[in-house]
Structure formats: structure tokens, C-alpha cells
Amino acid sequence: MAIMRLTREVYNQIAATIGSLPAERGGALGYDEGDDVIRYFKFDEDSRNSGATYSPDHVKLNEMFRSDWNPRGIRLAGFVHSHPSGCMRPSRGDLDYSRRILAAIPDMPHLFLPIVQTEPDTGKFTLFAFLVTRHRGDVVDRPVRLEILDAISADKSEDRQGADVPESDIRKESVIAWPDETFNRVTEAYDLTRMARARVVIVGVGGAATFVEDLARCGVGEFVLIDGDVVSETNIATQQVYRRDIGRAKVTALADRLRDINPAVRIREVRQSMDDLDDAAMRSLCREPFGAASPEVSLLCGLTDSFYAQARVNALALHLGLPSLCAQVYKEGRGAEITFTYPGLTPACHRCILSSRYKAFIAEQFSNNVTSHGTPIFATSRLNSIKGFVALALLHHRPDGPAGSAGEGNARPARLTGLATRIGDRNLLQIRLDPDIAESLGIGTFERVFGSGNPSLIFDETVWRRQAPESRESGVEPCPDCGGTGDLRNAIGTFDDTRHIRGAKE
């Protein structure tokens, strides 16, 4: 298990300099040849700084290395610097800088890159330990355990033993001992660097709670939770809530569980309905930075049983140029449905896919009376599982690079590389959870796909249905939302107010 060890003297020096100033400030870390304890710190007092960037003074640091550290056998261990409030991981620029350092020093096995949250920015000094290593021609960062050694335990005698800082001191000084084992078994499953910089915006957190929690277990670093409801006792049998949550806002109850999974996760709790949030507010929640850096990718999810909220998600995703995912459980949990979009990848938007539903609600004034009544909890669990895979495919997709190429941070997992491209035009998923769904709900998809005579197929199948945009080429009027061009990017910035459904009577 990787550990970053430093003396209390170095820790105090960092707190007195970097920790006492607004972000971004930094300095160099050093250790003796053959030792693994960081005993030296040089504050970079002449660095160039802005509210969001730290640029080291390379000339003075390199001169210090040549004239002082190198002659004394002190090796560079890494760099420590501060980020604005809420930014507790190395940024893309930090990894670029680390990549250059490791390339310039071939015998350097790794680089420590701890991140500081400062007293002026957050009200307390906190140090988050990270290690950057080479990985498949690139670099990857991961949180590691932090140990602060007092004078006796830091002595360089042969029989010294490192000692953790006492628990009372941990609380007093806000030292974070990262649970680096948390993601140890999934480093090859996900691009954890990209996941840490990803934001998932959830509209409707009730039945989706498990889905959201599991995305946190995948390393997703930022969440926006939008739901105006509170937990009731009737939710216990149909959603992942507990008696201790009754009466609490659903977004708050879920946020607490997400922080229990990953203490570094960044969350915005929005106890409002979609109607209360205009397009400017939604743009900010989807795109604006929580700290110094904007999210590398944002995924907008509509997970409610409200047609109008789901329709707003489609319009917002088109207007803001965001990937999106919507999901619903059918009546009594006899089936489930997922639709998704990605600008430049999927030719059809949600409205193209669900045009008959839009017609029923808008033109025929249909009123939905389907709720969670009669739905087994496992229908919701089944839906959450498959939409998790779809979400991972969308979050890992890099439209600016060829499928299979490594991006910034750690190399992309082969299983998820290019998956969004493979499923791109099959962006309607239907799941059969009732052997008699053709009779109970009138959905004949599964009979058409699988036939009725195969005794090996009963239920729990998923079909990925190819979708085309609603356009004159397909024999219908163009989709009012995306225009039916087959390129969803053409709809970016075209909505006056996404709270009003295009074509609906006011």
C-alpha cells in the first residue's frame, strides 16, 4: 500500500506557508537518498499565481536543486500546492506537469503531488496525499495514505518505525488519511482520473439512489442532486432509503451516503423542482466549476416519472450540448426503458425516440397515472444496473480522440473504450421483466425480436433498438427539438427557454 510519509516539521512548514495563503501556492518536497520520509520543503515564494493556476518559478527552483539539494544527496519527491475550495484532486494541468517531470527524470519512480485546502479558502488547513506514476505511456494519479512522523519516529536510525499521527491530532489538524484501498480493485475497470473529473446531474433521486451510489463507487467525483421531495415511510419498500431518513430531504439523505463512500466527492444539493430552475441556473449546475476547474464531462440524467421533467432534460441536453440519459420503470415493474443521447454520436434525441409519447401528452392531453404501486424493488434494481453501464459508456467516451487511444490521466479501460460508439444509434433500451408483457402492457418488441417459441427465453432480456431521427427523410415532420438533422450538435443554443415544450399549446 503506497504511503506518503513526511515529518511533522515539513507538515508544519506547509501549513505555515501554503496553508496560510489563498490558493494557488506551492513548493517542492525532498527526501534523502535511500530514505522514504519527506524531510525537506522549499516554499516557492516567487511563483506566478492566479485564483485558479499555480506556475512554479522554474529558474529559482532548479538553481536550488543544483546548488543545495543535489550536493547534499536530497532527491526530489514531488510538489505540493493548493487548490481553491472544493478542488481536492490533481487537475489535468497538474498531470501534464507531472508527466513532463517524470519524462525528464527517467530514474524517478513516482511523484508525490499532495493537494492543499487552505485556511483562507476553507477555514482550515487540510492536506490530501496523491501519487502520480507512469502507466502505459501516460501517467495516472491516485490518492494514498498520509503519515506524519514525529521527531523520534522520523529519526534515520536503522530500526526506526513509522508511526501514524494520533487520532486526536488527526481531528485537530484535519489530516486526511485517504482510504487508498477503496478503488484499488477497479483501477483497470474505469478511467479513475476521468471519473474524478466527471459530473453527473441527477433529476429525480428517488428510485435512482442505488444508481447514483454505484457511480460514486466508480469514482465519479461530482454530483448535482435535484429533487424537491422528502423521504416518506412508503419510500422504504420502493427506494434505497431507511427509517433514519424519514422526513429528510431526499437529496440530503443521498448526499450523506455518497460522502460515506468517497469523502472527496463534491456535491450540490438542490431541493427544488426543475420548474424552479431556469436555463441559466441549469447551465451553471451542469458546467460551471465547483472550485477551480470545470468538469471534464457532464452527464445529465432524467430519472423521474414526470413526462414534463423528462422532456425538459431532453431540451436542456440539446441546448447545452450535453450527453444525457433518461430512464423509467413501466407499470407494476413489468418492464423498463432507457434512452440516451450524445451530441455528435447519437442521431436521434429523446423526443425522436418517444415521439408517440410526446404526441399523447401534448396533442391528446394524456395524463400519466403510473406510479411505483405494484412494482417489485428488483425491477428498479435491474434498471439501475443496466443504466449504470450506459452511464459509464457515455462518461468514458472521448469525441476528440480515436476509439482505443489513451487520453489524459490513466489509460482507458479496454472494456469501456469505444462502447458508446458501438451503442450510439441503438439508444432505446427496453427490458422485459414480465414473461407476459405483450399481453399485460401491449409491448410486442420482445416477441418480434426473440419469437415466442424459444423455451430458453422467458424474461429479463434487454433489446437495444436502433433509432433514426424524426425527419422528412423518414416520412414525418422534423423533430421540433433537435430538427431531425441527425447531428444533435445543430441544436446547441437554439432554445429560448427549455421550460416550454416546443409545439405545445400555451
Cα distance between residue 272 and residue 292, in whole Å: 26
Q: Per the omega criterion (within 30 degrees of 0), is the bond before 24 cis?
A: yes
Does the reported pTM lie above 0.75?
A: no
Q: How far is residue 23 from each of residues 11, 17, 20, 68, 502, measured CA to CA in Å?
A: 17, 11, 9, 27, 45
> What is the per-residue pLDDT for 291?
63
Domain boundary among 121, 152, 181: 181
CATH number, position 437: 3.40.50.720
Overall average pLDDT of the 37-45 stretch = 94
pLDDT reported for residue 506: 56
Q: What does the pLDDT read at residue 288?
A: 92
In this structure, the answer to whether residues 137 and 85 fall within a common structural domain is yes
Q: What is the DSSP string of 266-311?
A: EEEEE-S-GGG--HHHHHHHHHS-SSSS--SEEEEEE-SS-HHHHH
Enclosing domain of residue 95: 3-181
Residue 178 confidence (pLDDT): 42
**Segment 356-370 mean pLDDT:** 85
Of 180, 224, 178, the C-alpha closest to 200 is 224
Reported confidence tier of residue 180, pLDDT bands at 50, 70, 90 = low
Q: Which tens digits make up the pLDDT trace of 19-35?
A: 999 998 999 999 998 88
End-to-end Cα distance, the chain: 62
**CA–CA–CA angle 262, 267, 268 (5° rounding):** 170
Residue with cell 518559478: 57
| 38 plus 85 within the same structural domain | yes
Whether 350 shows a pLDDT value over 80: the answer reads: yes
pLDDT in tens, 150-170: 754 445 443 333 333 333 332
Domain-terminating residue out of 154, 181, 208 = 181
Per-residue pLDDT band at 500 (split at 50, 70, 90): very high
Give just the sign of the alpha carbon dihedral 118, 119, 125, 126.
negative
Quote the pLDDT of residue 294: 82
Asked whether the beta carbons of 450 and 461 are under 8 A apart, the reply is: yes
How many domains does the structure of the chain reveal? 2
Which is more confidently placed, 349 or 126?
Answer: 349
Average pLDDT over residues 143-149: 85
Q: Which long-range contacts (CB under 8 A, 24 or more apart) does 91-97 make?
A: 91/292, 91/293, 92/197, 92/293, 92/296, 92/408, 92/409, 93/53, 94/141, 95/132, 95/139, 95/141, 95/193, 95/408, 95/409, 96/408
CB 147 within 8 A of CB 164: yes
Domain co-membership, 167 together with 227: no
How confident is the model at residue 404, as a pLDDT?
38
**Range with the lowest mean pLDDT among 74-88, 224-238, 421-435, 472-486?**
74-88
Helices (H) and strands (E) in the chain — how many of each? Answer: 16, 20
Lowest mean pLDDT among 23-37, 124-138, 309-323, 396-410: 396-410
**CATH number of domain containing 115:** 3.40.140.10
Give me the pLDDT at residue 118, please.
Answer: 92
pLDDT band at 290 (very low <50, low <70, confident <90, very high): confident
Does residue 171 surpass a pLDDT of 50? no
Q: Does pLDDT of 411 surpass 80?
A: no
Distance from the Cα of residue 374 to its chain's centroid: 33
Do 368 and 299 sit in the same domain of this protein? yes
With bands split at pLDDT 50, 70 and 90, how would you rate the model's confidence at 208? very high
Domain boundary among 157, 181, 205: 181
Closest CA relative to residue 327, chosen from 468, 237, 428: 428
Verify that 380 and 325 share a domain, yes or no.
Answer: yes
Q: Give the confidence band of 235 by pLDDT, cuts at 50, 70, 90.
A: very high
For residue range 445-474, what is the model confidence (pLDDT) as tens digits? 999 999 877 888 999 999 999 999 999 988
CA distances, 72 to each of 1, 79, 202, 359 (Å) = 29, 19, 54, 77
Angle between helices 307-320 and 279-287 in degrees, nearest 10: 70
In 3D space, the residue among 144, 53, 44 whose CA is nearest the CA of residue 97 turns out to be: 53
pLDDT of residue 409: 39
